[in-house]
């Protein structure tokens, strides 16, 4: 849907479009007051509010982006722990299908699946077969049904594409190892006899990160694990295999891929990694013009900027996410004016640098994922801070990523399995709730209620996420806009950023502190309150040029028409 139409839809669905002049209970509105653009009566002597109705949230949540638009709200799913449809304790694709209505109600229009291929591990990053579905998760027919169901809802699907390594039970690796075991003493491998010996890194020397091949004098590189032999991505035959894999899944209906461990393709060699990413991007878009790729480069700001020179569509914005990123730091430092005001400036600096490195980049913000601790842990289980962190993520430009369960405040830290605990669908932990993955340490209790309980609680974290996502969908300038810090408003623990996209503009204000405050808008004549979302239930009101914001309040200003 065109941006202009979406903006108009927001204005139509706001409560009284600034809900101004609400009469006291038992009284009627003054019919002499002038109507605003939505037809609601406006009385400039009364506080103004602009809040989304449930009807607005429902309609916007169900709204998908245009088919060629890769600015989306992605939901990361670990199938193993998401929803069990057959009672075997392990999540599966049919379980995901059963929850698509839930995701659509939340406002999700993109899904990122962690690996779904056959594997010997619970996490499945050691792929045995890139062309199949792990039997614990279901069948290829289940995947085809899932893709069709997602397509009907306007939900794009990307899957993990693990290219740094395969599993040690992959046919390529098994064939190469058997060949090396049978080589005559002193003979060197011949790729004409066994092409797979050049698919990996084999050596007669036991270097760092190398492991012995049983029954031979040979070693192979597997820096992550002996179960994960590293692929030789400089081999043109390997690249041909990768192209075929992408073609297969594009033909099935996926919209793109998440590229695992992209900075480890050639560990320590940024230039080589950039070359591989450039090739993958060019190859993917030669198959599917609007393919969406997002790469995992777990690095700081400077290196993420360097990797954007590859032309890759998106890189996860680790400098802002993760437990030590900018968003967690600002939320933990709530009430510190210097810390809060630095946020908008950091957004501007990142946008400027990334754009210079890749004019076509789409940011990929996140706060938590399957490798890092959940939001609840780094904000000491403070629900208002969970809301603020979630809003900061969703309101960043680009395609934002939400880890399953963050919308209900799940906990998870420590070892990797504990960060991938069963989705908390209901308090009884049945009817789709999976068993925990191996070595997962379940919390004795979750800090917040289950998804079932939160869906019917208007003040819940879940319904807060729905509101913020709906706001983002209603105003595409939020997701598509270029970001600058609005210096005049970055005072008193207010973070203010201006988004600009074509002729559209907005200013996003966040009150990141435990107290309410008033923002002076006297220098912003011609701007008006377009939307607000309260974290604690207290109203956000505009009285003349004074914007009253409660703790952790969120407001959006737009130029008056």
- How does strand 202-203 pair with strand 541-543? unpaired
Q: pTM for the full model?
A: 0.92
Sheet of 202-203, strand order: 202-203, 219-221, 210-212
Is the per-residue pLDDT at 46 higher than 50?
yes
- The model's confidence at residue 64, banded by pLDDT at 50, 70 and 90, is low
* Residue 19: inside a domain: yes
Among 450, 472, 494, the domain-final residue is 472
Which residue among the candidates 260, 363, 383, 406 is catalytic per the annotation?
Answer: 260
Structure tokens at 95: 């379980």
d(CA 339, CA 329): 8
Among 472, 498, 524, the domain-final residue is 472
Considering the domain architecture, whether residues 154 and 204 belong to the same structural domain is answered as: no
d(CA 514, CA 551): 5
Query: What's the mean per-residue pLDDT of the chain?
Result: 91
Q: Which domain holds residue 21?
A: 3-58+483-559
* Residue 10: inside a domain: yes
Q: State the CATH number of the domain containing residue 49.
A: 2.60.40.1180
The pLDDT value given to residue 36 = 38
Structure tokens at 479: 């997701």
State mean pLDDT over 300-313: 98
Is the per-residue pLDDT at 25 higher than 50?
no
Among 472, 491, 521, the domain-final residue is 472
d(CA 133, CA 130): 8
Residues near 269 by Cβ (< 8 Å), separated by ≥ 6? none
Phi, then psi, of 479 in degrees rounded to 5: -85, -30
* Residue 195: inside a domain: yes
* Residue 216: inside a domain: yes
d(CA 350, CA 343): 11
Considering the domain architecture, whether residues 176 and 310 belong to the same structural domain is answered as: no
DSSP 461-492: HHHHHHHHHHHHHH-THHHH-EEEE-GGG--T
Q: Is 265 left (phi over 0), alpha (psi -120 to 50) or beta?
A: alpha
Considering the domain architecture, whether residues 433 and 395 belong to the same structural domain is answered as: yes
The pLDDT value given to residue 58 = 82
Higher pLDDT, 63 or 393: 393
Considering the domain architecture, whether residues 413 and 502 belong to the same structural domain is answered as: no
Considering the domain architecture, whether residues 208 and 329 belong to the same structural domain is answered as: no
d(CA 516, CA 514): 7
Instruction: Reply yes or no on whether 289 is catalytic.
Output: no
The pLDDT value given to residue 447 = 86
Higher pLDDT, 437 or 14: 437
- How does strand 202-203 pair with strand 73-77? unpaired
Is the per-residue pLDDT at 177 higher than 60?
yes
The pLDDT value given to residue 24 = 30
The pLDDT value given to residue 185 = 86
State mean pLDDT over 50-55: 81
Considering the domain architecture, whether residues 448 and 524 belong to the same structural domain is answered as: no
Which residue among the candidates 198, 296, 299, 351 is catalytic per the annotation?
Answer: 296
- pLDDT tens-digit profile of 346-361? 999 999 999 999 999 9
The Cβ of residue 431 has, within 10 Å, a number of other Cβ atoms equal to 11
Considering the domain architecture, whether residues 394 and 504 belong to the same structural domain is answered as: no
Quote the distance between the C-alpha of residue 87 and its chain's center.
Answer: 29
- pLDDT tens-digit profile of 215-230? 999 999 999 999 999 9
DSSP assignment, residue 380? T
Considering the domain architecture, whether residues 303 and 345 belong to the same structural domain is answered as: yes
d(CA 414, CA 442): 11
CB 42 within 8 A of CB 36: yes
The pLDDT value given to residue 38 = 36
CB 167 within 8 A of CB 120: yes
The pLDDT value given to residue 368 = 97
The pLDDT value given to residue 19 = 37
Is the per-residue pLDDT at 384 higher than 50?
yes
The Cβ of residue 211 has, within 10 Å, a number of other Cβ atoms equal to 17
- How does strand 504-511 pair with strand 494-501? antiparallel
- The model's confidence at residue 33, banded by pLDDT at 50, 70 and 90, is very low
Token look-up 């891929």 returns: 257
DSSP assignment, residue 414? S
State mean pLDDT over 305-334: 96
Considering the domain architecture, whether residues 32 and 9 belong to the same structural domain is answered as: yes
Q: State the CATH number of the domain containing residue 323.
A: 3.20.20.80
State mean pLDDT over 179-192: 94
* Residue 68: inside a domain: no
Residue 532: its H or E element: strand 527-533
- pLDDT tens-digit profile of 105-118? 999 999 999 999 99
CA atoms within 13 A on the CB side of 372: 18
Pick from 188, 173, 183, 187: which is nearest to 221 by CA? 173
* Residue 228: inside a domain: no
Instruction: Reply yes or no on whether 59 is catalytic.
Output: no
Structure tokens at 228: 């994960």
Least trusted range by pLDDT, from 40-49, 156-165, 256-265, 512-521: 40-49
Question: How many domains would you assign to the chain?
Answer: 3
- pLDDT tens-digit profile of 269-294? 999 999 999 999 999 999 999 999 99
Considering the domain architecture, whether residues 206 and 291 belong to the same structural domain is answered as: no
d(CA 394, CA 406): 12
Considering the domain architecture, whether residues 263 and 398 belong to the same structural domain is answered as: yes
- pLDDT tens-digit profile of 438-492? 999 988 778 899 999 999 999 999 999 999 999 999 999 999 999 999 999 999 9
CA torsion, points 553, 554, 557, 558, in degrees to nearest 10? -160
Residue 56: its H or E element: helix 54-61
The pLDDT value given to residue 428 = 92
* Residue 9: inside a domain: yes
* Residue 290: inside a domain: yes
State mean pLDDT over 167-173: 98
Considering the domain architecture, whether residues 551 and 406 belong to the same structural domain is answered as: no
Structure tokens at 435: 């068993």
State mean pLDDT over 511-525: 96
Q: How far is CA 262 from CA 164, 185, 274, 275, 296, in A?
A: 7, 37, 9, 11, 6
């Amino acid at each position: 849907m065109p941006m202009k139409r979406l903006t108009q839809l927001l204005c139509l669905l706001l409560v009284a479009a600034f809900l101004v002049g609400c009469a006291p209970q038992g009284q009627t509105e003054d019919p002499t007051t002038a109507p605003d653009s939505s037809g609601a009566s406006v009385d400039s002597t009364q506080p103004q509010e602009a809040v989304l109705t449930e009807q607005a949230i429902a309609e916007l949540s169900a709204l998908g982006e245009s088919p060629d638009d890769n600015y989306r709200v992605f939901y990361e799913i670990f199938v193993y722990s998401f929803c069990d449809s057959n009672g075997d304790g392990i999540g599966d694709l049919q379980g995901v299908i059963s929850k698509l209505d839930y995701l659509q109600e939340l406002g999700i229009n993109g899904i990122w699946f962690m690996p779904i291929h056959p594997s010997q591990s619970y996490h499945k990053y050691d792929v045995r077969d890139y062309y199949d579905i792990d039997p614990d998760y279901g069948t290829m027919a289940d995947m085809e049904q899932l893709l069709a169901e997602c397509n009907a809802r306007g939900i794009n699907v990307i899957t993990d594409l693990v290219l740094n390594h395969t599993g040690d039970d992959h046919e390529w690796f098994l064939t190469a190892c058997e060949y090396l075991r049978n080589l005559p003493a002193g003979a060197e491998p011949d790729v004409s006899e066994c092409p797979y010996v050049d698919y990996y890194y084999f050596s007669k020397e036991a270097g760092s990160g190398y492991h012995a091949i049983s029954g031979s004098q040979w070693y192979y590189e597997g820096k992550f694990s002996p179960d994960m032999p590293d692929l030789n991505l400089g081999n043109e035959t390997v690249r041909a295999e990768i192209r075929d894999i992408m073609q297969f899944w594009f033909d099935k209906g996926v919209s793109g891929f998440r590229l695992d461990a992209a900075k480890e393709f050639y560990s320590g060699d940024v230039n080589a990694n950039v070359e591989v990413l450039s090739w993958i991007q060019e190859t993917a878009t030669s198959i599917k013009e609007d393919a969406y790729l997002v790469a995992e480069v777990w690095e700081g700001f400077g290196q993420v900027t360097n990797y954007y020179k590859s032309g890759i569509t998106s890189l996860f914005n680790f400098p802002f996410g993760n437990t030590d990123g900018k968003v967690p730091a600002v939320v933990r430092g709530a009430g510190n004016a210097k810390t809060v005001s630095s946020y908008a400036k950091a957004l501007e600096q990142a946008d400027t640098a990334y754009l210079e490195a890749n004019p076509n980049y789409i940011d990929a913000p996140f706060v938590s994922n399957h490798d890092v601790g959940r939001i609840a842990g780094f904000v000491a289980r403070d629900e208002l801070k969970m809301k603020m962190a979630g809003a900061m993520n969703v309101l960043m430009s680009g395609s934002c990523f939400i880890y399953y369960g963050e919308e209900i405040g799940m906990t998870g830290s420590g070892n990797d399995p504990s960060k991938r605990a069963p989705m908390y669908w209901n308090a009884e932990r049945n009817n789709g709730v999976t068993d925990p993955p191996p070595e997962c340490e379940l919390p004795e209790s979750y800090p917040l209620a289950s998804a079932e309980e939160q869906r019917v609680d208007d003040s819940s974290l879940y319904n807060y996420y729905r509101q913020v996502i709906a706001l983002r969908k209603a105003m595409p300038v939020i997701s598509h806009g270029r970001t600058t810090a609005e210096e005049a408003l970055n005072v008193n623990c207010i973070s203010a950023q201006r988004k600009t996209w074509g002729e559209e503009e907005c200013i996003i204000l966040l009150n990141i502190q435990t107290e309410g405050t008033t923002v002076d808008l006297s220098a912003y004549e011609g701007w008006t309150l377009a939307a607000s979302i309260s974290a604690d239930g207290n109203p956000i009101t505009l009285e003349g040029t004074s914007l009253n914001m409660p703790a952790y309040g969120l407001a959006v200003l737009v130029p008056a028409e």
